Amino acid sequence: MSSPATQTIRADTSSRGAAIVAPHWLASQAGAKVLRRGGNAIEALVAAGAALAVTYPHFCGLGGDAVWLVADETGKAQTFLGIGQAAGAVPDGDIPLRGAASTLTTACLVDSWEKVLAHSAAEWSGSESLSTLLDDAIALANDGFEVSRSQAFWHAFRNGELDSWPGFAGLFRSSGTQRQPALGKTLDAIARHGAREFYEGALARRIVAGLAQAGSPLSANDLAATQTDIAAPIRQRYRDTILLAPPPPTQGITTLGIMGVLNHQSMTDFPPDSADFYHRLVEAVKQAFLDRHTIADPRYGFNVSSELLDPARLAAKAAAIVPGRALPWPQPYRHGDTALLAAVDEKGRCASLLQSLYFDWGSGVVVGDTGILWQNRGAAFSTDPASPNVIRAGKRPFYTLNPGLALKNGRSHLIYGTQGADGQPQTLSLLLSLLIDHGLDPATALSRPRFLLGRTFSDSRDTLKIEENAGLETVSALAAMGHEISTIDSFSPLGGQAGVIRIGQDGTIDGAHDPRSDGGAILL
């Protein structure tokens, strides 16, 4: 992986005062074009997100979901939960991780485009439409692009499985030029006929036929019923900022819970490269993760936001952290991969977006002749009848996506998010403490060593993974505290791919995307 010294941050020096970050530079460019012609942050992220659905097919795509958090220049915020629901005919038995039987939920990314653009037009005087915002994505699908390091890594990582996935073999490459002409035709149909073409038009009929041919339980009725949920964000004070996150069924409440616990800790007392700093972060993560099993679709009677963010509860969790001693940690974990995009426009309006197929490469199922790789988000459901997250027809699963915004003095200050499933709230807590407590700039904060608690794709142990650049002294001190340590490569793909835009109180903007990604920040 590249180091911070070699990570390219693409920028220009015009004075408009806008910015965009994405994990692939071609997606950043697509969004920057919109900002340059006067489009707003939402419109820029629709264009960038569509381009990313093409250039990062292993992490996100039209067969997946999206969670948005947007705020205007006054800090008025809204979330858009583009989360597909479970099939009306839920099969019995265990839920497989891959294949047609894992395609248990519909895909809501495309519908979320329609909903956020309606908000853009009504609230932000936006005028852009899908007919132009998808131009770059269509061109990239048809003309091709150089396979990214991230795609190459995850293609090689799944090399022993790819040939068994329906329609997958030969479509996605591990090197060279990647073209997706079938996906280009699908995007063109959406551009010409609108987002609901994906759910109720001729394209929808092709999607349903392809899913049925593969053996998916999803039906035409399921697809037509797919709708983005619009909801107020949940909030948590941290120092002199107000952190915003999407509500359940996302794990945004987990990120806020971690920060609520850390708000009772004096994080500035510990240098950001010290074992004490990492220890308090990790222990706060554990305290919040102990509650995560209660998060589920609130439409089914499980709205725990006020309970989990109760000030007395957070204070008690902070008091349970023992300096110098780790809490033992054998806990369940969740897979997942996703992609973060964020933008701020010249008027100070902000948008943070995460879009995902759940696992890398999702279900592995390419739907008929559409070029769409479908997600396996249904694997996030439980089959335990006693679980709040038990699978039910029409229900949305527990969701790892949680893009974030931080307000300061009533205005947007930080726009952030990361790839990484269980690692998302962990990476965000580290970044927020570095940015808020220690005053690091986005590029420096993103270059700091990461940790990841619990199991991963390649390590089934419940260890605390630390990137090697944390240093032997810090690693040894954490081990002496009782943390079961395993080291991972510096700037490892397991450390997530985060992005941050920071708006200063004087209106200056800086931003960066992760040195672990193929992206960058474009500042206009």
Report the distance separating Cα 81 and Cα 70, nearest Å: 11
Residue 186 is a catalytic residue: no
Give the residue from 401, 398, 396 showing the smallest Cα distance to 353: 401
What does the chain come to in residues? 524
**Rg of the Cα atoms in the chain:** 21
H/E segment holding residue 28: helix 25-36
Please identify which of the residues 255, 338, 427, 456 carries the catalytic annotation. 338
Report the distance separating Cα 257 and Cα 335, nearest Å: 21
The Cα-based distances of 149 to 181, 311, 314 in angstroms read: 22, 43, 40
Assess contact for 50 and 30: CB atoms under 8 A.
yes
Q: What is the DSSP letter of 165?
A: S
Specify the pairing of strand 404-408 against strand 509-513. Answer: unpaired
**C-alpha torsion angle, residues 41, 27, 373, 497 (rounded to 10):** -90
Judged by DSSP in three states, 238 sits in strand
* Structure-token pair, residue 138: 């269509």
For 300, phi and psi rounded to 5 degrees? Answer: -110, 25
Report the distance separating Cα 191 and Cα 181, nearest Å: 15
Judged by DSSP in three states, 29 sits in helix
Alpha helices by DSSP H, 433-512: 442-446, 472-480
Q: Catalytic residue positions?
A: 338
